[in-house]
Amino acid sequence: MSKKRLYLILGFVLVAYVVLAVAPAFAQDTTEAEYRLFPKIGSRNAAWIAAQLHLLFGSFILGVPMFAVIIEFIGWKTKDMRYDRMAQEFIKLCMGAFSTTALLGGVLVFILIWCYPKVMTKLSGIFGPTMIFYVFLFFGETFTLYLYSYGWDKMQGRHKGWHLFLGVLLNVFGTAIMFVSNAWLSYQTSPATQYGVLSEGRRKSWIEEKLAADPALTPETAMEGVTSHTMVPLHNETTGEFMGTVWDAVNNFTWMPVNIHRLVGNIAFGGSIVAAYAAFRFLVAKTKEDKAHYDWMGYTGNFIALCGLIPLPFLGYWLGREIYMFNNTMGINMMGSLFSWLFIIQAVMIGVLFIGANYYLWSGMGRIEGAEVYARYRPYMITVIVICVAIWMTPRTLSKISSASELSAMGGANHPHLGLFGLMTAKNTAVNIVILTTFLSFLFYRRSGKTPTASWKKVGNVAISSIFFLATVSIVVIGIVGFTVPTDLRVNILTPYQVLVALAVMAIVTVVDIFMYRKATTSGTIKWGEMTDRSQYVLILVAITFTSLMGLMGYARSGLREAWHIFGVMQDTSADAFTPLLSEAVNMVAIIMVVFFALVGFIFWLGLWGEKKKQAAAAPMEGEVAVESDD
Amino acid sequence: MKRLSLFTICLIILVGSWVFLRFVVGGVISVPIPSSVIGMYMGLIIIAILVHISVEDSRFREFLRPVHETLIDDKRRIRRRVIAVLIPIFLLGYTYSIIAQRANPPGSPRDAHPSPPLELTYKDAVIGTMQDVVNPFRHYEKDDPEAFKAHVENGRRVYHQNCFPCHGDHLDGQGHFAPYLQPLPANFQDPGIIPNFQESFFFWRIAKGGPGLPAAGTPWDSAMPIWEDYLTKDEIWDVILFLSDYTGYQPRTFGEAH
């Protein structure tokens, strides 16, 4: 039997199996159903897979244009075409992933409409106008991306400014699309907003509801204790009917923290995927030129991912704070109860990201002559990072991972000393120090192979060392004080102050360092392409970790609603109304991660294939020219 | 004196770290650390060592040199044979340690903190939402210190009449019944207990006791009685005032949003 025939038979069997598996779904009652069961894997799993894959692709195609346009701008201003080519290559990757994102979005919508018709009716009833707006934005983004990508070569020279404008416009459309869809999901978590930003209509109906519920109240007494920050539900608390405006629903309590967290997360994720792509190309590259190019691209991707990663813990913390403020029970579920172990896994994964990013920077210093002077600091930096990651991943309560004899030896579920590491004040201190250490690694990388000529270089170095020392002491002292003050003070004042110290150090030291090394002599150039293969595998590991982390935290964000489609308003009465175990979620996220990388790998391979075809087609033409010349 | 190889130094760091965690931190400085936590820390230390040795090719080769020599050099024949015997013995011991039956029950699989309901009730009557209910006597702290003191004193009386046998006279969870309870009573002197929860959470835990805990996150196995059957609403609020007054920790409050 020929191979072709065998594949045909196998394909037929596969199609037949899928048809038979899906067939029972068509036997379901398709009228007025509240839920319909997705065959074999269940509705929730189907929606979960489609939503997560759509989000991962979406994150990539929204993140990449943000830094591509900046890199293009740098290339334009410095007149260095290498930047321009790299930005174009980034956008080519984006183009490949764009249609897959749209396709997955369509699949998700079909699954939701088929499996959750009542929920979708409710949501589309509230968000209908935004869905129409979304369609327009989608068209805007699609056409801008096509113009931006296909017009790249034609809009060089005097049209470059317009091309950059298209890039900015693409980002505006992309960000707006994300903000609109974030409104739908954040509303499901927090269908309420603050009195100060509420529409006039909802203010009135809310007061009327209060008066109807308690006849003893008057319009004046009903307003007692109400401030602009008072949380107001957007639904009638008796009937569940939506009473607000579309803007009330969009501007729900957790909308903006989710927006900002995702916006920066997209940059980090996009950077890491680009770096992983470059790492793969580096590993398979045959020529020195290709190795040098993809080494540089990988470095840039990792740098972008780091820039996004550094503020992410703070933004995640802000989102967590807002969830606590919206609903304390939800907050306790997140950090102290149902989902608390997820945050231990999160700490491990973020630890991997920071260790990986530092490892890559240290490996990169191996290709710069004169970087050896900084190698002696490395063991200390590794020690600091590992101690901080250890603090970050130390669980507060050890009952689930200790035997009965270990628990009684500790005198309870909390270790009397290590248990302190389980509190947020210790963890925030640790993360700020990890960030400063990573920044120090980057500073050493930047200085490698350069000798400053500024007359004040000694004073400058002493000043920078002192800034680092004082900042570290301040962060640790604030962390210790955090154990003794009321939580409100710690969350709203001390923790932001710690963050400000870390950010201020990065800003001040960068400025001082730029001036100090402005006219530095170069003792060794960067030998692009001379990186170890290990460092490239680290880049791939970082991308895998980012992907898994996004999947796991998505499970937390969505799972926080527990048995509600819309928290406190519309109950989930389907067969999937239980919170999946952490082990189930981890398995599901792992499957999604593998599928995502398989799809991304396929898309990138298609790009490579096309490139090879072009090169193959170009080769004989060059040969023909050569023959003609000989003649 | 012969310089130690990088491999030996790494081995010393690894073993030294384990001894430090197991016997110094978990013995001299503090109480024993659960083996799972030590395992977690050791995993990190191994990663740190791997990072250090593999960043540079030259260092990586230096690290592998003794391994390479042991495997192929005839002068290291004895070392090779000793290792060849030790590896199966180690694996045997490890396998035995995993499968051997022990009279050591696993710890409690309960969650760190139970999830409170959305509404706070007392004897089935709704007081309000968990988010919004505040201690009705807390405002006396600023408005009427004498009245506040009286409520705290009442809380002290209620505590010593009802709670101290388990939670202890220092509120540290070391009451004279405590050693016989699993899970152990809450330690209010721990900085992670009172500051992390609103007063409404404490009211709920006291009022509903062990039997009132939610279905999710079971088994709880808490021996805490349902105190709403024995105490008035005001007595429960007073006890909560006493807990924070005695320990110096303020229950969680929420500042202005955004």
Q: Quick check: is A587 in a domain?
A: no
Instruction: Give domain status of residue A4, yes or no.
Output: no
* Residue B244 with chain A: CB contacts under 8 Å: none
Q: Decide if A564 touches B, using CB distance below 8 A.
A: no
pLDDT band at B161 (very low <50, low <70, confident <90, very high): very high
Please count the structural domains in chain A. Answer: 2
Contacts of A323 in chain B (CB under 8 A): none
DSSP structure class, residue B118: S
Nearest partner of A202 among A251, A243, A253, A246, judged by Cα = A243
Q: Give the minimum alpha-carbon distance from A412 to chain B in angstroms, rounded to a whole number.
A: 6
Angstrom CA distances, A395 to A8, A321, A411, stand at: 54, 19, 16
Chain B contact present for A398, CB below 8 A: yes
Give the helix/strand (H/E) hosting B204.
helix B199-208
Nearest to B118 among A398, A491, A568 (CB): A568
If phi over 0 gives left and psi between -120 and 50 gives alpha, with beta otherwise, what is residue A233? beta
On the CB side of A265, how many CA atoms lie within 13 Å of its CA? Answer: 26
Please give the C-alpha separations between residue A533 and each of A364, B61, B201, in angstroms, as whole numbers.
11, 15, 53
Q: Taking CB atoms and an 8 Å cutoff, what residues of chain A touch B174?
A: 411
Orientation of helix A160-189 relative to helix A533-559, angle to 10°: 40
Residue A129 in domain: no
User: Which residues from A are below 8 Å from B183, CB to CB?
Assistant: 399, 412-413
Q: Which residue has the tokens 């040795």?
A: B53
**Residues of chain A neighbouring B25 (CB-CB closer than 8 A):** 417-418
Q: Supply A185's token pair.
A: 């999901």
> In this structure, are residues A69 and A60 in contact, taking their beta carbons and an 8 Å threshold?
no
Are the beta carbons of A417 and B254 separated by less than 8 Å?
Answer: no
Gap between the Cα atoms of A314 and A491, Å rounded: 11
Least confident among A222-231, B96-105, B178-187: B96-105
Q: Cα–Cα–Cα angle for A28, A30, A36, nearest 5°? A: 60
The backbone region for B128, taken as left when phi is positive above 0, alpha when psi lies in -120 to 50, beta otherwise, is left
Q: A595-612 as b/e, with b when 16 or more CB fall inside 10 Å?
A: ebbebbeebbeebeeeee
Chain B residues within 8 A of A422 when measuring between CB atoms: 192
Q: Tell me whether A332 touches chain B (CB under 8 Å).
A: yes
Q: Are B186 and B193 in contact (CB under 8 A)?
A: yes
B54–A487 CB contact, under 8 Å: no
pTM: 0.86
Report the pLDDT value the prediction gives residue A29, as an integer from 0 to 100.
58
Going from the C-alpha of A210 to that of each of A109, A213, A240, B107, the distances in angstroms are: 37, 5, 15, 48
Residue whose entry in the numeric block shows the structure tokens 């049209």: A159
C-alpha to C-alpha distance for B155 and A40, rounded to whole angstroms: 57
CB A320 within 8 A of CB B98: no
Please identify which residue in the block is written with the tokens 């900085």: B191
CB contact under 8 A, B183 and A412: yes
How many whole angstroms separate alpha carbon A110 and alpha carbon A105? Answer: 9
Bin A572: left if φ > 0, else alpha if -120 < ψ < 50, else beta: beta
Residues in chain B with CB shorter than 8 Å from the CB of A324 are 254
Contact (CB<8Å) B36/A417: no
Question: Are B56 and A359 in contact (CB < 8 Å)?
Answer: no
Cβ-nearest to B48 among A336, A382, A423: A382
For B50-84, letters b (16+ CB in 10 Å) and e give bbbbbbbeeebeebeebeeebeeeeebeeeeeeee
Q: Which of A461, A458, A497, A491 is nearest to A476 (CA)?
A: A497
Report yes or no: A484 at the B interface, CB cutoff 8 Å: yes
Q: Dihedral angle at the C-alpha atoms of A54, A600, A60, A305, nearest 10 degrees?
A: 140
Count of CB atoms situated within 10 Å of the CB of B122 = 16
Residues A487 and B255 sit within 8 Å (Cβ to Cβ): no
Look at the alpha carbons of A609, A611, A614, A615 in this order and tell me if their dihedral is positive or negative: negative
Q: pLDDT category, B169, cuts 50, 70, 90? A: very high
- Does the pLDDT value for residue A512 go beyond 90? yes
In this model, does residue A183 exceed pLDDT 70? yes
- Over residues A390-409, the mean pLDDT reads 86
Q: Is the pLDDT of residue A182 over 70?
A: yes
Q: Where a domain ends, among A462, A490, A525?
A: A525
Return the exposure string of A24-56: e unless at least 16 CB atoms fall within 10 Å of the residue's CB, then b.
Answer: eeeeeeeeeeebbbbbeeebbbbbbbbbbbbbb
pLDDT tens for each residue of A92-150: 888 888 999 999 999 999 999 999 999 999 999 999 999 999 999 999 999 999 999 99
In the structure encoding, which two tokens stand for residue B171, read together?
A: 């509120």
Q: Residue B105 has what pLDDT?
A: 67
Which parts of A214-327 fold into alpha helices (H)?
246-250, 255-284, 288-309, 312-326
pLDDT of residue A626: 39
Mean pLDDT confidence for A415-438:
93
Q: Which residue of A has its CA nearest to B48?
A: A382
Q: Which residues of B touch A400 (CB under 8 A)?
A: 107-110
Cβ contact, residue pair B110, A488, below 8 Å: no
Q: Does the beta carbon of A418 lie under 8 angstroms from any beta carbon of chain B?
A: yes
Whether residues A392 and A521 share a domain: the answer is yes
CB-CB: which of A328, A333, A406 is closest to B34? Answer: A406
Is the Cβ pair B52, A382 closer than 8 Å? yes
Please confirm whether the linkage preceding B219 is cis (ω < 30° from 0): yes
Average pLDDT rounded to a whole number, residues A4-20 = 67
* Domain end marker among A214, A230, A249: A249
Minimal Cα–Cα distance from B186 to chain A, Å?
8
- Provide the pLDDT for residue A319: 93
Asked whether the beta carbons of residue B184 and residue A327 sit closer than 8 angstroms, the reply is: no
For residue A378, being part of any structural domain is answered with: yes
Interface residue of A322, A396, A406 to substitute, partner B, most B CBs within 10 Å: A406
- Shortest Cα–Cα distance, B5 to chain A (Å): 16
Residue with tokens 């002696």: A376
3-state class (DSSP) for residue B175: coil
According to DSSP, the residues that pair with A235 across neighbouring strands are A242
Binary contact (A414, B183; C-beta < 8 A): no
Q: Which of A417-421, B101-105, B178-182 has the lowest mean pLDDT?
A: B101-105
Interface contact flag, B182 A404, Cβ < 8 Å: yes
Which residues form the domain of A452? 368-525
| Mutation site, B10, B49, B111, interface A, largest A CB count within 10 A | B111
**Cα separation, A71 vs A63, whole angstroms:** 13
Task: With beta carbons under 8 A apart, name residues in chain B contacting A538.
Answer: none
Q: How far is CA B113 from CA A101, A413, A417, B215, B225, in A?
A: 39, 11, 19, 13, 17
Both structure tokens of A73: 């701008």
Question: Which of A338, A345, A388 to mutate to test binding with chain B, by most B CBs within 10 Å of its CB?
Answer: A338
Q: Tell me, yes or no, whether A391 lies in a domain.
A: yes
Closest in A340, A403, A417 to B112, CB measured: A340
Which residue, chain included where needed, has tokens 């699993």? Answer: B182
Residue A243: both structure tokens together: 């009473």
For testing contact with chain B, the best of A427, A488, A579 (most B CBs within 10 A): A488
pLDDT over threshold 90, residue A174: yes
Give the position of tokens 């989608």.
A138
Checking if the pLDDT of A516 tops 90, the result is yes
Q: Which residue of A214, A319, A415, A481 to mutate against B (max B Cβ within 10 Å)? A: A415
Q: Which helix (H) or strand (E) holds A194?
A: strand A192-194
For residue B165, CA distances in Å to B161, B180, B191 come to 9, 11, 21
Which of A493, A510, A525 delimits the end of a domain?
A525
CA distance A432 to B177: 42
| Cβ proximity of A277 and A304 under 8 Å | no
How many Å lie between the alpha carbon of B147 and the closest alpha carbon of chain A? 23
Contact A398, A415 (CB under 8 A): yes
User: What does the alpha-carbon distance between residue B191 and residue A420 come to, in Å, rounded to a whole number?
Assistant: 8
pLDDT mean over A377-393: 95
What is the value of ipTM here, to two decimals?
0.84
What is the average per-residue pLDDT within A157-180?
Answer: 95
CATH of domain B119-247: 1.10.760
Each residue of A541-598: pLDDT tens digit?
Answer: 999 999 999 999 999 999 999 889 999 899 999 999 888 888 999 999 999 999 999 9
Distance from CA of A168 to the nearest CA of B (A): 28
Contact A404 B47 (CB under 8 A): no
Task: Flag whether residue A366 sits within 8 Å of chain B, measured between CB atoms.
Answer: yes
Which tens digits make up the pLDDT trace of A301-352? Answer: 999 999 999 899 889 989 998 998 898 888 888 888 788 889 999 999 999 9
Residue A225 is predicted with a pLDDT of: 80
Closest chain A residue by Cα to residue B180: A408
Residue with tokens 């009386």: B157
Tell me the pLDDT band of B132, cut-offs 50, 70 and 90. Answer: confident
Nearest chain B residue to A401 by CA distance is B36
Q: Is the peptide bond before B88 cis (omega within 30 degrees of 0)?
A: no
pLDDT tens column, B23-81: 999 989 999 999 999 999 999 999 999 999 999 888 999 999 999 999 998 888 999 99
Comparing CB atoms, the residue among A409, A412, A488 nearest residue B255 is: A488
How big is the CA angle at A565 (ends A561 and A566), to the nearest 5 degrees?
A: 80
Considering only A135-139, A283-287, B74-78, B220-224, which range has the smallest mean pLDDT?
Answer: B220-224
Nearest residue in B to A385, CA atom: B48
Hey, of B221, B254, B256, which one would you mutate to test binding to chain A, going by the most A CBs within 10 A of its CB? B254
CATH 1.10.760 range(s) for chain B read 119-247
Interface check A116 vs B, CB under 8 A = no
3-state secondary structure of A161: helix
**Beta partners for residue A194, in sequence order:** A231
Nearest to B116 among A332, A340, A490 (CB): A332
Report CB contact under 8 Å: B31, A410: yes
User: In terms of CA atoms, which chain A residue is nearest residue B46?
Assistant: A386
A189–chain B nearest CA distance, Å: 14
